């Protein structure tokens, strides 16, 4: 049924109303219904029947009219919605088409710019420079990313083809006379031209697009031409159509049809630009919706138009009016029939139940009126707040005056869509929300005390009781009614009473120095002047915040106090006593505060407030600490000897120093004197008798006593003040005993340390030189000897990774092994650090020293077990013979030192005898050291970069920074030749910081997806300024931290300390990525991934090198890749040199690869060219 069928429906819907009116008029004429005469009312039932008949008829007419209006509105809304839908579709597809043509335009612009950049100025150069295989390859590379393009070509000014992506050499073809070339000749004129659709070699529709290419004077040299596949657009449009009447068409701005789905073959390349409808569509705006006959097939359609803002395109989407209105016509028929049936039922109900319905309605109206009047009276006169709300939405339906006063809002505000959630305190909203959710599914009641937040910020307490006021079908709650009583004053009185009781109780327990009340709900603290003065807070009566009070506490105490309070509240403890320290503004002195507080909880056990007192106990704490410190630090004990009772009272310190039983009971004189050595007792008694005999006021003496606990002999000094009565008789002695054992032992120890190493107990450098002088004196009598200098290999690495305690243990273990290989006549000394020296006596020839040197190197190469760590080191030995290599101590030691350096340079784990040429070699090494110290300041270091690629796609994902030294005399020096020396002389940290800063600065200029990797040496990682150096490098370069990878070796992780993990986590918090380098070469590689969440693992090149020969290496690589994949950690294989290695790594699951297969390390200035080449080949 069309729109013309709507009157038929409306006429049928009007049937019932007209029939009812006709029957009513007939009854009036027949006298069966009587209207009242003036002054005489008609019977009530007649009047009711008459009115119901009239209302029924009117209702029929209204339903008919309303149905017609509704259907008309539905039709118009459907057409409007379809128009918006078509407009939105046209906008979306038009944007897609513009993006597609814009991409093509950018490619042609790039090619034109490249041709101009090549400096081509003549037609001859145009042919010679562009008619090349390289140009053909470049065109093919660019067309690969353009699926919508058939062919990309370059033609000269005469239209002859110079280069094409389709073939090499280019065919002998011309575009002379075609629109895409001729339109470019006029200057000024367009730079680009979209041509007329043509059929390609295979008969498919395509459209050419050209861009002007000329010389500096504006003369046309040629054009870049793109043959665009219109079938690509037609296929895309086919996926967007919404039925048989739906179309999508693309025009040029001048009205020429480029492509349409469904295709109208005979209209392609036809221009509609002169039609008024097309011109009108261009003037409406960039996007519009129109309704009317189609330009192409004349069918009535609803169309969406999108006019291109950048490209000369117009896109039109449409649906036929017949297709759009089909659902509406179907629904109109069904709706009309339903309404007709409804009117028939209404007529029957009116005729059959006229009187009964009328009577019941009157009765219901009367009851409803009575109920409403009673409810209105209750709402108006109630002293409590009354409110009725919709159960489904929570919105207020009715509120009374008292509820408005309680919430601080008008009735109009509350009933304009507000809910209980809008007026209660935020802290109570969850409770109300929980009830309301339950009320929607069951007959829940709600009784609680809630807070209401008024618009002015004041809080009012209310006791709320909520129940159901109306139910729907099945007993489902429809409305709830609530009663709210204002209990604000009652709550305030209760809180004041509770606070006063608490203050009274605390006042009886403590001196009232400062008191406070803390509201745990609002966080406000009301405190007196004592608290403010004590904490240095501003004077006044306004409450302070919890933050202000906490700010006065020392940070370490602040965390402890908060933890203690939180624990007390969780355990619902009523009282809490704790101590903390503060430093008041303008004071440097710490003050000790004792806090005693009492917590209050509500009926549900939630904390409400706490009241308490603070007491300044600074003086007593300082006095106790001072006395305790003086006694403990000075090893001092106090005693009093009563000569009358012969009992001794002594302090705990005195008892502990001598080993006497703890306690407060006095000691007998025998107990007191018992631990003293007998000879010291006799001497001390004589001194006491002499002092008392001379009535001396005080005395000082020393004695020794053996500790009753450990039996150790200890030295004491006693200082005594004698007590006499008025006749001069001695009454007692008050004094102190001082433990001077450590002082005496220290004096002896100092004498020993002057000539011995404190760690190993070996002779130090001073004693070694004395022994060396003695050996030289014997050498003058013909007794030859050898000097061996021993340096431990990798000792610094052990110290840096496992810590100094393990390093010290290693030195003691080395001492034990060395002593085991020496004779009693030999001398072993530690000269400092990891350097030992041996004077081997009775050596006549070098061969006499060889067995000892061989044993020492072999013995020191065996693993050491130290504190749960297995440590492997080595040793290098330099040997000088006396008197052959020198006749004085300095010359011998220097000769042995030169031999030691030669041994270390030749690979460590060796021994070498001194040779005269070693001195010259040492001079060269020192020259290298001087050059290295100068290199950093002179800017001789440079960074090379080697790419890291995605193993599957071979796309570059990042680059690793590799250090090189551009020595002015030696040329390019690799790190292996100078980094060990740099680490030895302490330059490794500044060089590492320079590498970090330079790498970040270089990477900031690369594309944003590329990361840069920088190696951190163990010494650089252990340096305290590492975090600041990384942050500074990132800030100066403005490099995204996520693009920086810091590579650490397993050596760093050997020291599993809190400091190491803390440093890693601090680096991670900066946003950088942490990489485990050379993975698999350490002792416990797998465990490192458990200790710290690394972002990447780099498999050592030794495994990559042996992939094709070693099954074990192959299995290890696969296991590491599988494990890292499970942990979401990226794996990178280093040292990839062959295609076979890469394919094996891919099968094993490696994510990335690095090696000369992809690129050798390149200087920084060659990286942009490398990245450009990678982009073009992608």
For every residue of 140-200, DSSP letters joined together read: HHHHTT-TTEEEEEEEETTSBEEEESS-SSPPS-B-TT-HHHHTTSSSS--SEEE---EE-
Element (H, E) at 809: helix 804-821
Question: CA–CA separation, 273 vs 264, rounded Å?
Answer: 17
Question: CA–CA separation, 821 vs 879, rounded Å?
Answer: 16
Residues 540, 646 contacting (CB under 8 angstroms): no
Of 474, 464, 470, give the one whose Cα is nearest residue 392: 470
Question: CA–CA separation, 1117 vs 245, rounded Å?
Answer: 61
Of 648, 697, 688, give the one whose Cα is nearest residue 668: 648
Residues in the chain: 1178
Question: CA–CA separation, 1170 vs 97, rounded Å?
Answer: 34
Q: Which two tokens stand for residue 629?
A: 């410190």
Give the alpha-carbon dihedral of 263, 265, 271, 272, to 10 degrees: -50
pLDDT of residue 42: 42
Q: Residue 821's CB: how many other CB atoms inside 10 A?
A: 16
pLDDT of residue 1169: 92
How deeply is 372 buried, as exposed, middle or buried, from its count of CB atoms within 10 A (0-12, 13-18, 19+)? exposed
How deeply is 967 buried, as exposed, middle or buried, from its count of CB atoms within 10 A (0-12, 13-18, 19+)? middle
Domain 754-916 sits in CATH 3.30.70.270:
yes
Please name the residues in contact with 851: beta carbons below 8 A apart, sequence gap of 6 or more. Answer: none
pLDDT of residue 394: 85
Residues 1144, 1104 contacting (CB under 8 angstroms): no
**Pairing verdict, β 246-252 and 220-229:** unpaired
Please name every residue paired with 383 in a beta bridge, in sequence order, or none if there are none: none
CATH for 931-1177 is 3.20.20.450
The CATH H-level superfamily of 634-745 is: PAS domain (3.30.450.20)
Residue spans of alpha helices (H) in 701-803:
741-753, 765-779, 795-802
CATH for 491-623 is 3.30.450.20
Question: CA–CA separation, 641 vs 735, rounded Å?
Answer: 9
- Work out the angle at residue 939's Cα, subtended by the Cα atoms of residues 938 and 944, and round it to the nearest 5 degrees: 155
Please name the residues in contact with 38: beta carbons below 8 A apart, sequence gap of 6 or more. Answer: none
CATH for 382-486 is 3.30.450.20
Using DSSP's 3-state secondary structure scheme, residue 584 falls into: coil
Residues 154, 224 contacting (CB under 8 angstroms): yes
Question: CA–CA separation, 1001 vs 943, rounded Å?
Answer: 11
Is 754-916's fold the same as 931-1177's?
A: no
Which residue's structure tokens are 């009926």? 603
Q: Which two tokens stand for residue 899?
A: 């031999």
Phi-psi region of 64 (alpha: psi -120 to 50; beta: other; left: phi over 0): alpha
Domain residue spans of the chain: 382-486, 491-623, 634-745, 754-916, 931-1177
Question: CA–CA separation, 638 vs 659, rounded Å?
Answer: 14
What order of strands is seen across the sheet that includes strand 287-293?
257-261, 246-252, 313-320, 300-307, 287-293
Please name the residues in contact with 662: beta carbons below 8 A apart, sequence gap of 6 or more. Answer: 652, 655, 656
Question: CA–CA separation, 206 vs 227, rounded Å?
Answer: 6
Residue spans of alpha helices (H) in 668-719:
669-673, 678-693
Reduced 3-state DSSP string for 890-920: HHHHHHHHHHHHHHHHCCCCCEEECCCCHHH
| pLDDT per 10-residue tile (average), the chain, 1178 residues | 41 44 42 40 53 73 81 84 84 84 86 83 84 85 80 88 88 80 77 86 86 82 89 85 84 88 85 78 77 81 86 88 84 82 75 67 73 71 85 88 90 90 89 81 78 90 87 82 88 78 55 81 88 86 88 90 92 92 81 91 90 86 64 73 89 86 87 89 89 87 88 89 86 88 77 84 92 91 91 86 88 94 93 92 82 92 89 92 87 89 81 79 75 88 96 94 92 86 85 96 93 92 90 95 92 68 90 87 59 87 85 85 89 94 92 94 93 82
Question: CA–CA separation, 245 vs 1060, rounded Å?
Answer: 71
Count Cα neighbours of 464 within 13 Å in the Cβ-side half-sphere: 26
Count Cα neighbours of 1066 within 13 Å in the Cβ-side half-sphere: 15
Question: CA–CA separation, 151 vs 227, rounded Å?
Answer: 5
Please name the residues in contact with 707: beta carbons below 8 A apart, sequence gap of 6 or more. Answer: 657, 658, 659, 675, 713, 714
């Amino acid at each position: 049924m069309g729109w013309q069928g709507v009157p038929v429906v409306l006429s049928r819907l009007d049937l019932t109303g007209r029939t009812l009116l006709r029957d009513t008029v007939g009854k009036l004429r027949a006298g069966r219904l009587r209207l009242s005469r003036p002054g005489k009312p008609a019977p009530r039932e007649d009047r009711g029947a008459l009115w119901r008949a009239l209302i029924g008829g009117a209702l029929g007419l209204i339903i008919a009219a309303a149905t017609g209006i509704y259907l008309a509105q539905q039709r118009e809304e459907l057409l409007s919605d379809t128009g918006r839908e078509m407009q939105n579709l046209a906008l979306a597809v038009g944007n897609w088409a513009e993006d597609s043509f814009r991409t093509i335009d950018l490619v042609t612009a790039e090619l034109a710019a490249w041709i101009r950049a090549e400096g081509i100025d003549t037609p001859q150069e145009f042919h010679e420079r562009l008619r090349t295989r390289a140009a053909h390859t470049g065109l093919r590379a660019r067309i690969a990313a353009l699926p919508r393009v058939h062919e990309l070509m370059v033609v000269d000014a005469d239209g002859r083809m110079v280069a094409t992506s389709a073939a090499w050499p280019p065919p002998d073809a011309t575009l002379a006379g075609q629109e895409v070339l001729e339109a470019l000749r006029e200057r000024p004129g367009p730079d680009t031209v979209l041509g007329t659709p043509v059929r390609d070699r295979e008969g498919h529709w395509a459209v050419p697009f050209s861009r002007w290419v000329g010389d500096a004077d504006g003369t046309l040299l040629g054009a870049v031409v793109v043959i665009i596949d219109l079938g690509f657009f037609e296929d895309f449009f086919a996926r967007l159509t919404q039925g048989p009447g739906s179309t999508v068409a693309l025009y040029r701005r001048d009205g020429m049809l480029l492509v349409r789905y469904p295709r109208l073959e005979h209209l392609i390349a036809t221009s509609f630009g002169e039609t008024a409808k097309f011109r009108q569509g261009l003037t409406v705006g960039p996007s519009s919706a129109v309704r009317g006959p189609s330009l192409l097939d004349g069918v009535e359609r609803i169309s969406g138009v999108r006019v291109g803002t950048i490209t000369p395109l117009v896109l039109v989407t449409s649906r036929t009016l017949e297709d759009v209105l089909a659902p509406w016509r179907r629904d109109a028929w069904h709706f009309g029939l339903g309404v007709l049936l409804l009117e028939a039922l209404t007529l029957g109900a009116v005729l059959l139940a006229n009187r009964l319905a009328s009577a019941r309605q009157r009765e219901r109206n009367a009851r409803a009126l009575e109920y409403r009047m009673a409810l209105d009276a209750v709402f108006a006169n109630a002293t409590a707040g009354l409110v009725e709300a919709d159960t489904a939405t929570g919105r207020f339906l009715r509120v009374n005056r008292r509820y408005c006063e309680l919430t601080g809002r008008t009735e109009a505000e509350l009933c304009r869509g507000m809910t209980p959630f809008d007026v209660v305190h935020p802290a109570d909203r969850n409770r109300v929300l929980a009830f309301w959710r339950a009320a929607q599914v069951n007959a829940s009641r709600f009784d609680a005390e809630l807070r209401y937040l008024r618009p002015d910020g004041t809080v009012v307490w209310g006791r709320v009781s909520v129940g159901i006021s109306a139910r729907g079908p099945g007993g489902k709650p429809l409305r709830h009614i609530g009663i709210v009583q204002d209990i604000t004053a009652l709550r305030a009185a209760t809180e004041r009473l509770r606070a006063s009781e608490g203050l009274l109780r605390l006042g009886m327990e403590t001196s009232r120095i400062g008191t406070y009340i803390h509201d745990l709900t609002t966080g406000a603290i009301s405190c007196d002047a004592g608290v403010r003065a004590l904490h240095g807070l501003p004077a006044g009566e306004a409450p302070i915040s919890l933050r202000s009070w906490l700010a006065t506490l020392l940070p370490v105490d602040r965390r402890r106090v908060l933890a203690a309070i939180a624990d007390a509240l969780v355990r619902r403890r009523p009282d809490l006593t704790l101590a903390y320290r503060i430093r008041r503004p303008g004071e440097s002195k710490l003050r000790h505060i004792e806090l005693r507080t009492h917590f209050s909880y509500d009926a549900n056990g939630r904390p409400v407030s706490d009241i308490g007192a603070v007491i300044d106990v600074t003086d007593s704490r300082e006095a106790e600490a001072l006395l305790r410190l003086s006694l403990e630090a000075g090893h001092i004990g106090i005693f009093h000897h009563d000569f009358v009772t012969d009992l001794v009272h002594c302090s705990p310190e005195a008892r502990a120093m001598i080993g006497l039983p703890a306690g407060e009971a006095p000691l007998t004189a025998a107990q007191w004197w018992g631990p003293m050595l007998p000879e010291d007792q006799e001497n001390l008694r004589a001194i006491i008798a002499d002092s008392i005999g001379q009535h001396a006021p005080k005395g000082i003496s020393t004695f020794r006593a053996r500790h009753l606990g450990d039996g150790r002999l200890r030295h004491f000094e006693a200082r005594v003040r004698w007590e006499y009565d008025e006749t001069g008789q001695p009454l007692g002695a008050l004094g102190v005993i001082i433990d001077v054992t450590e002082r005496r032992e220290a004096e002896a120890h100092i004498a020993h340390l002057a000539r011995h190493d404190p760690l190993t107990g070996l002779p130090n450098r001073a004693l070694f030189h004395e022994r060396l002088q003695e050996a030289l004196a014997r050498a003058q009598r013909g007794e030859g000897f050898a000097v061996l200098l021993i340096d431990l290999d990798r000792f610094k690495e052990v110290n840096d990774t496992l810590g100094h305690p393990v390093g010290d243990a290693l030195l003691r273990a080395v001492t034990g092994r060395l002593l085991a290989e020496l004779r009693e006549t030999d001398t072993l000394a530690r000269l400092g650090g990891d350097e030992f020296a041996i004077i081997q006596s009775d050596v006549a020839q070098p061969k006499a020293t060889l067995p000892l040197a061989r044993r020492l190197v072999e013995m020191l190469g065996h693993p050491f077990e130290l504190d749960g760590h297995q440590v492997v080191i080595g040793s290098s030995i330099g040997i000088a013979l006396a008197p052959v290599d020198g006749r004085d101590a300095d010359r011998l030691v220097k000769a042995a030192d030169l031999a030691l350096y030669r041994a270390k340079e030749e690979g460590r784990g060796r021994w070498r005898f001194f040779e005269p040429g070693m001195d010259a070699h040492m001079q060269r090494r020192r020259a290298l050291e001087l050059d290295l110290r100068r290199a950093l300041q002179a800017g001789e270091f440079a960074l090379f970069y080697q790419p890291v690629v995605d193993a599957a796609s071979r796309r570059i994902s990042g680059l690793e920074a590799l250090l090189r030294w551009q020595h002015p005399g030696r040329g390019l020096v690799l790190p292996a030749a100078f980094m060990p020396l740099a680490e030895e002389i302490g330059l490794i940290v500044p060089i590492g910081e320079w590498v970090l800063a330079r790498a970040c600065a270089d990477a900031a200029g690369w594309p944003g997806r590329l990361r840069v990797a920088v190696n951190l040496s163990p010494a650089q990682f252990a340096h305290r300024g590492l975090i600041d150096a990384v942050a500074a490098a990132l800030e100066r370069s403005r490099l995204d931290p996520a693009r920086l990878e810091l590579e650490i070796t397993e050596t760093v992780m050997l020291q599993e300390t809190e400091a190491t993990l803390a440093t890693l986590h601090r680096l991670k918090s900066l946003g950088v990525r942490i990489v485990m380098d050379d993975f698999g070469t350490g002792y416990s590689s797998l465990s490192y991934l458990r200790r710290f969440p690394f972002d990447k693992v780099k498999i050592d090149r030794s495994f990559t090198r042996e992939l094709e020969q070693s099954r074990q290496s192959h299995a290890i690589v696969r296991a590491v890749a599988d494990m890292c994949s499970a942990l979401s950690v990226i794996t990178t294989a280093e040292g990839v040199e062959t295609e076979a290695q890469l394919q094996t790594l891919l099968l094993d699951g490696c994510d990335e690869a690095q090696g000369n297969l992809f690129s050798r390390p390149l200087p920084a200035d060659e990286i942009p060219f490398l990245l450009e080449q990678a982009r073009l080949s992608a």
